[in-house]
Amino acid sequence: MSISIEKTSEQLVQKAVVACQGIAGSNSETACRTLFAEPDIMFFKSFEAVFSAVEKGLCKYGILPIENSTHGSVTGVYDLMRKHSFGIVKAVKISIAHCLLGVEGTKLSGIKEVLSHEQAIGQCSEFLKNHPDIKVTVCANTAVAARTVAESGRDDLAAICSEQCAEIYGLKTLTKNIQDAQYNCTRFICISAQPVVYDGSDKVSLICSLPHKPNALYGLLATFADYNIDGEKVNLTKIESRPIPGTDFEFVFYIDFETKLSDDKLAMLLGDLEIYTPNLEVLGIYSESSDITE
């Protein structure tokens, strides 16, 4: 592969059709509205359907959560990245606060069952551990949890979701900020069918597999170090490994790095990385914004 990087001075198309997982009130919607001024949002049931909608051209962009600061990677999305064709064009980090919502008349002490997405359940593990008698049921999305509670009319059922779901689904907030860590945020990627590198892009995501031999990962990282002589040009921000199903713990690696290299130098680095990983694939070169005031 000969790699060349061509940046475009265009920006994200603001009035685009954007695919999000879940239903109105989901955190994907919040991420979407942070990136797009006037998105035409199409909701899908699964992460896989979001990838497919973008791949097939039904939606120009798709929004997917990839990592939470408390609970870690959204492994399901990582595993789907291997199976679909797409480019990451933007990322956004948003703060996540979880509330417990129930129908009017619900009391915290009367709750027997809680619904939510497994990531949200993981992010509220301390709260749930302190309420061991509450049954925990996983559902597809935090907003689906809220809608299910609203439709049930039950006063012994509650949803863990964002507070904005209270207004959307006519629910009452029973308690706020039940996530384990008060600093709790999730990174979302924005994908398109074709890779596009917008001006200002300074982050690169790669996927590769490495041979099962000593020093393979070291060889790859040594290449990064070669381009990093003054220690500020390349900063590895994440390595995620996921098993390849059906193999004896063989892995694919997902690598994110921030870079201040020129486009030409970056293209050279990517070319050099291929020496260690013949099946290297660039998932995207993009910038990451944030809704968090630090």
How far is it, in rounded angstroms, from Cα 267 to Cα 93? 26
- Strand pairing of 135-138 and 203-209? unpaired
> Judged by CB, which is closer to a copy of itself: 106, or 223?
223
> Judged by CB, which is closer to a copy of itself: 10, or 183?
183
SS3 for 206?
strand
> Judged by CB, which is closer to a copy of itself: 17, or 156?
156
Interface residues toward a copy of itself, by CB under 8 A: 67-72, 75-76, 118, 121-122, 136-138, 180-185, 187, 213-215, 217-218, 221-222, 224-225, 228, 231-243, 245-249, 294
Shortest gap between Cβ of 103 and a copy of itself (angstroms)? 20
Shortest gap between Cβ of 73 and a copy of itself (angstroms)? 9
Shortest gap between Cβ of 205 and a copy of itself (angstroms)? 14
> Judged by CB, which is closer to a copy of itself: 122, or 271?
122
> Judged by CB, which is closer to a copy of itself: 188, or 224?
224
Shortest gap between Cβ of 44 and a copy of itself (angstroms)? 13
Shortest gap between Cβ of 75 and a copy of itself (angstroms)? 6
